[in-house]
Amino acid sequence: MFIDKSGRFLYSSNRGPMEELLVYEIGKDGRLHLLQRVPLGGKEARHFAIDPGGRFVVVAEQFSDRVGVFSRNPSSGELQPTGRTYPANKASCVVFA
């Protein structure tokens, strides 16, 4: 799970039968409000991260042996699948250098 740079949105994964990313808005009172559930299309979101520009979320889908890419709207926090996946054997971590 991680919080974006603005501190407004929290992203989490739901592994197992659901295999989805969850997007929450963080209220001024600190409470979380579920905004979106996005199906992964792969299995076992071991790790995920927002790119340095804040426009994409990259997901290491360990049991699918790939990395998936989702576009991100920085204003709303919402994610959309791009349909782009890249092979990565036992993908377990995403790092931007």
**Domain total of the chain:** 1
Q: Pairing relation of β-strands 20-26 and 32-39?
A: antiparallel
Q: pLDDT band at 16, cuts 50/70/90? A: confident
**Segment 14-25 mean pLDDT:** 93
Alpha carbon distance 49, 43 (integer Å): 16
Asked whether residue 76 carries a pLDDT value surpassing 90, the answer given is yes
Above 90 in pLDDT, residue 41? no
**Mean of the pLDDT values across residues 89-97?**
91
Please determine, for residue 59, whether its predicted confidence score (pLDDT) is greater than 90.
Answer: yes
CB atoms near residue 47 (< 10 Å): 18
Assess whether pLDDT exceeds 90 at residue 30: yes
Instruction: Tell me which residue range forms the domain holding 38.
Output: 2-87
Above 90 in pLDDT, residue 31?
Answer: yes
Q: Are 10 and 2 in contact (CB under 8 A)?
A: yes
The reply to whether 93 falls in a domain is no
Q: What is the pLDDT of residue 52?
A: 95
Residue 96 lies in a domain: no
Evaluate whether residue 92 is within a structural domain.
Answer: no
**Quick check: 58 and 40 in contact, CB under 8 A?**
no
